[in-house]
Amino acid sequence: MWKSSAARTCLLCLAVALAGCSKGGKSEETGPAAGSEPVKLIVYSYSSGIQDSEFQKFFVEPIQKKYPNISMQLVSRNGDKNTPEQVIASGELPDLILTSNVYIGMFNNLGLGMDLSALAKKHNLSFDKFDPAGMAAIKQFGDKGEVYAVPFSMNYGMMVYNKDIFNKFGVPFPTDGMTWDQTIELAKKLTRKEDGVQYIGVDPDYPENVTRQYSLPYVDEKEEKPLMNTQGYKTAFSKLKAIYDIPGFIGEKNKFMYTTNGFFKDRILAMYPVWGDGVVGTFEDTANQGNPVNWDMVTYPAFEDRPGVGKPVDLHLMMLSPKSKHPEEAFRVIEALVSDEAQIAMNKTGRMTSLNNDSVKKTYASELKSFQGKNVQAVFKTKPAPIVKPTDYDLPFKQLIREGAKDMAQNNKDVNTVLREVQDKAEKAMLEVKKSK
């Protein structure tokens, strides 16, 4: 998120919109006693992974059952539609925001972040009930102990694999606890052409999946210079380079990413390290359609010097707007959605619980047809990688990292050259941003 004229325009729109709101956004209502008055909450979803059907099942239905006077309207970011700027400019400010921990800072900068500590204390909601790593990711945005969000689910890393491809080539299945080097060696045995079909051993997907797992920041703590031509990035990019260099990996028209289509549609991808939320629905859809992939899962590959460490914390969470006209009702929604009952319902259908509760965790994916008989507990066998606090430079610098990985794959450039070029572009971009401030 660049601090540009667009951002300043957004903030101006926010100031104008907030001027017309009720002062302080405080309410005298204290809960069920106000239940006779209809309350409509606007819920804004931005990169939360919540689909309309999930919103209806996990949010609307249980809340209306418990609080009949509360209704909710979902407004979702969809490409260029319903951007934060557009939502703010419309004057229809959300009461609740569903998003990822990566975007807490962005919403705080837009004036849409509120410390929930007081409301949590009032309603006896203890933050200790949540996954510690998840809460640490949220609390890093509070310089004085503020807590700007409550998590309702956690994303997780796993490596899914196509058993048919392994069987076809007589290669043993992957196992829990594998490193990237072990995964790459296995991939070499599976990246081969058979009967005119080119099979791919492993696809690491976007390069930031690897760099974030290694807990690499884009800039230094003071945000004074980029940090992409470093030993850490060289270590991460060396894994990507080793995969790109496997004979047969680069396809026609210099294709070097195969992702979900390669695994689910074309079924040429043997191993796919991925976010769980990105594939759960597709596994279930193919199973219900009678065309399931013959698959299983193992732990996300780890770096050799960081055994047992998987993907970083990635939360789906709820924020409450400081200018909501119904803060009490909005917090009651938050409270209801993190109850054991609600969390078990989500957890059973593959949206992993945010609670630090082993009995709830054990119900994970138990209602999913496609997950029956799978190595489901693999998702709990790695520790989340330490997170790096997001900055305003992350999105544009992430794009530079992607361009560098593409250059390395398609033009056979070496790691040092690519990272030196990425660093140079980042330094120039940062200088332009600082000049515009």
Q: What per-residue confidence (pLDDT) applies to 10? A: 42
Q: What per-residue confidence (pLDDT) applies to 395? A: 86
Q: What per-residue confidence (pLDDT) applies to 4? A: 41
Kind of pairing between the strands at 39-45 and 96-100: parallel
- Beta-carbon contacts of 271 under 8 Å, excluding residues fewer than 6 positions away, are 159, 160, 161, 162, 174, 183, 186, 187, 190, 201, 202, 203
C-alpha 112/C-alpha 95 separation (Å) is: 9
State CA 385 to chain mean position distance: 13
Provide the greatest CA pair distance for the chain.
72
- Beta-carbon contacts of 404 under 8 Å, excluding residues fewer than 6 positions away, are 207, 237, 418, 419, 421, 422
CA atoms within 13 A on the CB side of 61: 9
Sign for the CA dihedral angle at 426, 428, 434, 437 comes to negative
Residues of the chain with pLDDT under 70: 1-35, 437
Q: What per-residue confidence (pLDDT) applies to 34? A: 46
Q: 373: how many CB neighbours lie within 10 A of its CB?
A: 7
Closest CA to 86 of 140, 171, 157, 10: 10
- Beta-carbon contacts of 69 under 8 Å, excluding residues fewer than 6 positions away, are 34, 35, 36, 37, 38, 39
**Right CATH for 5-155+314-356 from 3.40.50.720, 3.40.50.300, 3.40.190.10, 2.40.50.100:** 3.40.190.10
254: left (phi over 0), alpha (psi -120 to 50) or beta: left
DSSP string, 5-39: HHHHHHHHHHHHHHHTSPGGG--S--SGGGTTS-E
Q: What per-residue confidence (pLDDT) applies to 231? A: 98
DSSP string, 249-260: -S-GGG----HH
The residues spanned by each domain of the chain are: 5-155+314-356, 157-204+257-312+372-384, 206-242+392-437
Q: What per-residue confidence (pLDDT) applies to 389? A: 83
Tokens of 423: 């660093």
Q: What per-residue confidence (pLDDT) applies to 20? A: 41
Closest CA to 131 of 376, 387, 416: 387
Q: What per-residue confidence (pLDDT) applies to 143? A: 87
Q: What per-residue confidence (pLDDT) applies to 35? A: 55
Kind of pairing between the strands at 269-275 and 157-162: antiparallel
C-alpha 53/C-alpha 65 separation (Å) is: 17
